[in-house]
Amino acid sequence: MSKMVSRFKSVITYILILLFSGFFFMPLFWMIIISIKRPIDQFTLGFIPWIQFEPTLRNWESELVGQASENLRALMNSTIIGLGSAAIATFLGTLAGYALARFEFKKIKNVDIISSFLSLRFLPPIALAIPYYVLMQSIGLLDTQLAVILVHAAAFLPYSVLVMRDAFKSIPVAMEESAFIDGASVLRALTNIVLPVVAPALAAVFILTLTFSWNEFLFAFILTSKNAYTLPIRMAGSITTIGVIFYTLSIRQLISVIPPAILGLLVQKYIVSGLTMGAVKA
């Protein structure tokens, strides 16, 4: 009896898991399939290549070769903006995170400084987009990569401060103390002794902020037009201009999803603490 019950339970478990897997995987799988279907097949339901439909790379070819300059520009912009803003956010976050982990501030308590960074994380981007537009217009930075880099770095700074602080907290102070006895400066202790230990967390913060920037839409949408547009802007434009040419939409979508997916899976270990800003540990 109890054996049957447990068998029944495990069947239910697998059914539920398969249902959820289908829910999360099918949409992306469908985009891959659509991208290798001939235009004539795009409204059919077949999903097994060679058996149900004749796969083709023509769509990829025409998008990557025919539309090369626009795609390349969006890709370059997304990469430069992502790397630039991740570099600034990680650099500032490392310094502040280190100080907040190791030093007790007197006038304003550490926890208050940290909470302030945390509440910056929850500001609605649209409230900032209005002054940003006017500001960037007045200093001539509209539609430049620099404008988006500066804004993204500020938007993702709270992440890097809190996650880096968390990483520094997890290593013993004793590591630096001997260096201080030998007369090392704080900066020296940080760069030569502590940073090598937290290197994995540092890389994770860099990669996470890079993917946040890569996927960000609203700021890039408002601050760029025909020069500095990123991949999400190009994708959003295709919905109205391309309409129902599904294979083109699917290729553009895959181009934007694949790089962050690969990077993200590399830093899986740090995602939990990264996404909750250190509030939950993996």
Partner 1 sequence: MAKLTAYHLFVLIAVAYATIITIFPLAFMVYGSFTNWRLDVSGMNWVGIKYYIDLIEDYRFYNSLRVTFLLTALAVPTEIVFGMILAHLMRLQIRFRRLFRTIFLIPLFCAPVAVSLMGEVLFYEGGGPINTVLNILGFGSIPWRSSPNVAPLTVVLCDVWMWTPFCFLITLAALEGIPKELHEASIVDGASSFQIFKSIDFPLISSPLITILMFRVLDTIKIFDIPYTLVGGGGPGIATEVMSIYIYKQAFRDFTLGKAAATSVVFLVIIAIITSLFIRRLRKYYV
Site for partner 1 in 82-101 (CB under 8 A): 88, 92-93, 95-96, 98-100
Q: Does 271 bind partner 1 (CB under 8 A)?
A: yes
Task: Candidates 51-59, 68-76, 194-202, 265-273: pick the segment binding partner 1 (CB under 8 A).
Answer: 265-273
Q: Which 99-128 residues touch partner 1, going by CB under 8 A?
A: 99-100, 102-103, 105, 110-111, 113-115, 117-120, 122-128
Q: Does 187 bind partner 1 (CB under 8 A)?
A: yes
Q: Which of 36, 222, 223, 228 binds partner 1 (CB under 8 A)?
A: 222
CA distance 188 to 194: 9
Task: Candidates 52-60, 65-73, 198-206, 257-265: pick the segment binding partner 1 (CB under 8 A).
Answer: 257-265
Q: Does 141 bind partner 1 (CB under 8 A)?
A: no
C-alpha distances (whole Å) from 248 to each of 35, 119, 130 are: 7, 40, 32
Task: Candidates 53-61, 69-77, 196-204, 255-263: pick the segment binding partner 1 (CB under 8 A).
Answer: 255-263
Amino acid at residue number 158: P
Q: Which 30-69 residues touch partner 1, going by CB under 8 A?
A: 30-31, 34, 43, 45
In contact, 253 and 235? CB cutoff 8 Å: yes
Q: Got the DSSP string for 122-186? A: TS-HHHHHHHHHHHHHHTT-TT-HHHHHHHHHHHHHHHHHHHHHHHHHTS-THHHHHHHHTT--H
Helix 268-275, helix 145-169: angle, nearest 10 = 100
